[in-house]
Amino acid sequence: MGGMKTATISPPLSDPLQHQPAAGDSSPVILAVRNLTKTYASGLQALKGINLEIRRGEIFALLGPNGAGKTTLISIICGIVTASEGSVSADGHDVATDYRRARMKIGLVPQELATNSFETVYDSVAFSRGVYGRAPNRVFLEQVLRDLSLWERRDARIMTLSGGMKRRVMIAKALSHEPQILFLDEPSAGVDVELRRDMWTLVRRLRASGVTIILTTHYIQEAEEMADRIGVISNGELILVDGKAQLMKKLGRRQLTLQLREPLTSIPAALDPWRLELRDQGRVIDYRFDTSDAGAGVPTLLQRLAELGIAYVDLNTQQSSLEEIFVRLVHAPGAQADAGAAADTAPGAAAGAHR
């Protein structure tokens, strides 16, 4: 399977804005979710008062464990599921009362491959464009197919394609009507490394053209690499929304590791305030502290070690990954309360997240 060509997808005809916002900027809101609740007939409350604003031109990652409410939220925004309470607007159009215009603004790449296997690639993509009321535009569709390395296979029946190529067709169908908001639901599930890399190259180009990208993923490393902001949903509640850098700073942890010259049998009582951990037969000391704790007493710790005659031959520091923060938020007791406190201290937290 060949790599993507370097041609660039044209920006949406209805919105030629070339904009790539920095994280935390004041770009216009393109997607607004207000007090959204979903309760199924069984009594299951899948969503509990979700409030969320997505800015034009950003990449937003929605993270959460299985059953957290991610798919329900996306389905309501895309008009597949009806909300019990609350509202959603896409570029100013309510998805319930002005659903035709709202849905023209949104493209969805679902996790599951679902298309007519007997259709050709081009016919399938052209049909999706027509479903949204868009006039035929062969030039635009050719550009989309070329960017996805599908143009040479445009006359092939979808049943003859590999799984990776079928995934590309799903992306082309989602882009066919020139949406301004693109949902990628677990886009890397079951795809090979090459397609994953090419897909993220395309995502960056789409964002540069003004398209807003919202992705859900279990590959948290991708969210850490790609996203401008991150939202964490758990048990139907949006427990945190923040910029990636701010999230890492507020909720991340660091570890200072000291390789000692001579082993210790135990940590001296004078070092108790730092809650150090001794390992590797007394040859290594670990000190863990919150990233938000500026300094965290490291200089004082090193000075106290010198005063006690404890010499070290090497030291290094490590910072927790987004995956570690995510696991703490979702599973650790009290972590959600800490996240709420952190969100409350962030500018615009009330507009960005609501518990």
Pairing of strands 277-279, 253-260: unpaired
The pLDDT value recorded for residue 59 is: 93
CA distance 199 to 179: 17
Q: What is the pTM of this model?
A: 0.68
Distances (CA, A) of 241 to 27, 52, 183, 336: 16, 8, 17, 12
Q: What DSSP string runs through 231-277?
A: EEEETTEEEEEEEHHHHHHHH-EEEEEEEESS--SS--GGGGGG--E
Tokens of 16: 């030629």
CA distance 184 to 169: 13
Q: How confident is the model at residue 16 (pLDDT cuts 50, 70, 90)?
A: very low
pLDDT digits (tens, 9 = 90+) for 275-331: 898 999 999 998 877 655 554 578 888 888 988 999 988 888 776 555 666 666 666
Between helices 138-147 and 121-131, what is the axis angle to 10°?
120
Structural domains of the chain sorted by starting position, each given as residue range(s) with its CATH number in brackets: 29-248 (3.40.50.300), 253-319 (3.30.70.1560)
pLDDT digits (tens, 9 = 90+) for 220-271: 777 777 888 988 888 899 888 877 666 666 655 677 889 999 999 999 998 9
Residue 66 — φ and ψ, nearest 5°? -60, 135
Q: What mean pLDDT, rounded, does the chain reach?
A: 79
pLDDT digits (tens, 9 = 90+) for 22-59: 444 557 999 999 999 999 999 999 999 999 999 999 99
Of the ranges 195-199, 209-213, 298-302, which one carries the lowest mean pLDDT score? 195-199
| Whether the Cβ atoms of residue 55 and residue 29 lie closer than 8 Å to each other | yes
Of the ranges 11-15, 95-99, 205-209, 324-328, which one carries the lowest mean pLDDT score? 11-15
Q: How confident is the model at residue 174 (pLDDT cuts 50, 70, 90)?
A: very high
Q: What DSSP string runs through 137-166?
A: -HHHHHHHHHHTT-GGGTTSBGGGS-HHHH
Mean pLDDT throughout 112-140? 90
